[in-house]
Amino acid sequence: MNRFAIKAGLGACVLGASVLIPAQVSAEPAATATGTELSGMTVFLDPGHQGSSEGHDLAQQVNDGRGNTKDCQTSGMTSLGGVPEHTINWNVTQLVKSSLESLGAKVVLSRQDDTGWGGCIDERARAASESNADLAVSIHADSTAQGEDAGKHGFHMIIPSLPIPDEKADAAQSGGGLEASKMMRDAYKSDGFVPANYAGVNDGLQTRADVAGPALTQVPLVFVEMGNGSNKEDSAQLESSDGQLKHAITITTGIVTYLLTGSETAPAQELAAAPAATTAPEASEDSASSTTTTTPKVTTPKSTNPKSTAPDSAQLSELMEMLAPLLEVQGLDGLQDLVNDKNLGLVSDLASTLMAVITGAGGN
């Protein structure tokens, strides 16, 4: 059992026990992870927003990557239950980080805690580019109203309108960024999450020209909106420990699938058919809408590696039922106290179960 996982709690231990490894061929039996599957790879994780903006001007104008400027940062949404988005993003990111590290990856964070300042959007993009990450993932939750908005729900991936003025950013986002975003979308759908039904989202993808991060980032980027904090059901899942764990499992699955099976570039025909957003959610870096879109260039895959599929919702639900009694004891924050020499066998069993589900030995 890898000790990176233990430090983040049992939920992260299940994630971090090298269990999210896509099967190269669906007929293969589940492999025993070595903890080195992602050695030599770097992932940049950006938990959106920050705990405090004290001493900083959120309205300071910074480069938007398209020849204009926009606000340095926003405070993020607050869920219906009163949980700030920055904390939801932080919790999910910590679970994903632990999992990736247990597979041997180097993880770089855009911010180091959930209490202080997190940096302007251009600074985070610069940090992602300078990390030379194989993949960057910006983790957010959306909102569409100050109060409850029962009719709008679901996840989506924000895709930048192409081409992007910066050649390096354009190459990164039209190639690996687009492919990884589609893989993340597929992981979400396979895990039973429903694509968003608002703001011009097309099958889980939303084309935007007004989000600066993707236009400034020179490594492949996935911009995840986990759900709508204005929707009662989405909000409840975003707030809960088991809901955050489920999001973390899905995000890690999408990341690892891309890192182990993705090609350097991917076809963009699907994106060309996706409409730009036409409605305006709550104004923020991760929720403002766009009415402009450019047909992306089409590239050819350089790899013929078969793409794996994420576990289906029934399999994941079964796993979550196994985890529920443990999660209810103390939640994710206190579960590290449950991991000791006496129950490492149980943790290992849970990890093996998840490994079997992800790799396909449990049914796909």
Cite the active site residues: 225
> What's the first-to-final CA gap in the chain, in angstroms?
25
Partners of 71 in beta bridges: 61
Sign of CA dihedral 89, 90, 92, 97: positive
Name every residue whose Cβ is closer than 8 Å to that of residue 38 and which is 6 or more positions away in sequence. Answer: 100, 103, 104, 105, 256, 259, 260
Q: How many CA atoms lie within 13 A of 334 on its CB side?
A: 6
- At 257, list the tokens: 């699938």
C-beta neighbour count of 278 within 10 angstroms: 11
Specify the 3-state DSSP secondary structure of 328: helix
- At 290, list the tokens: 């766009």
C-alpha distances out from residue 333 to 16, 89, 141, 241, 336, Å: 16, 14, 20, 9, 8
Specify the 3-state DSSP secondary structure of 319: helix
Q: How many CA atoms lie within 13 A of 295 on its CB side?
A: 4
Name the residue among 310, 277, 301 with its Cα closest to residue 159: 277
How big is the chain by its Cα radius of gyration, in Å? 19
